[in-house]
């Protein structure tokens, strides 16, 4: 037979240990934040919101979209492990930045960006302004190390701008519709979330 003080102590120890285990597990998701840098272009902001909602729904990571004045303001924040971990880049801007042009631009740009610690993911598709530019998500090596599944999640949006439904989404957002709600509806229709 267990003595009276020990009978009381065992349940208390069990309850306290369960509480401490659940408390330590709750810290597992705290602090996971990714900031995406974009310029003021409406299409870039829309693509960043698509990426943001997709990552948030798939991984539970908080993703913020930060609008910068110029693309050149974004690069120092990416390279120097500043406040940004990702950006939506246009192929034309990247060509100017790395001073390249040619048929195999994308492969060359990937190599040049890699030297700066930036990783080009698969293109999201063509720009809608008729320029023929591609939109490319770019992440830092730091983000890749800390979020190894992120490229696989973001690559689900590969070619999304070439979709007819994307045109409707762009029109909805241009018409003043709430961008987060419109993006969430779009991703649900596409069965991505």
Over range 168-193, report the average pLDDT. 90
Over range 89-114, report the average pLDDT. 84
Q: Which CATH architecture has domain 33-189?
A: 3-Layer(aba) Sandwich (3.40)
CA–CA separation, 68 vs 66, rounded Å?
6
pLDDT tens-digit readout, 9-20: 777 777 777 766
Residue 138's beta-bridge partner residues? 87, 120
């Amino acid at each position: 037979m267990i003595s009276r003080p020990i009978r009381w102590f065992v349940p208390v120890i069990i309850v306290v240990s369960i509480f401490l285990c659940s408390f330590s597990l709750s810290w597992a998701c705290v602090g996971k934040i990714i900031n995406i840098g974009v310029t003021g272009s409406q299409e870039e902001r829309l693509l960043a919101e698509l990426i943001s909602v997709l990552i948030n729904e798939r991984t539970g990571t908080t993703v913020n979209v930060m609008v910068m004045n110029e693309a050149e303001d974004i690069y120092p924040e990416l390279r120097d492990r500043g406040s940004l971990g990702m950006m939506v880049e246009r192929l034309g801007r990247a060509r100017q930045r790395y001073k390249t042009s040619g048929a195999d631009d994308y492969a060359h740009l990937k190599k040049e960006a890699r030297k700066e610690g930036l990783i080009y993911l698969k293109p999201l598709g063509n720009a809608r302004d008729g320029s023929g530019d591609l939109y490319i998500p770019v992440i830092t090596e730091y983000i890749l190390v800390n979020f190894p599944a992120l490229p696989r999640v973001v690559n689900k949006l590969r070619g999304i701008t070439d979709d007819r439904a994307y045109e409707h989404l762009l029109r909805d957002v241009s018409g003043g519709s709430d961008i987060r709600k419109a993006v969430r509806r779009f991703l649900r229709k596409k069965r991505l979330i």
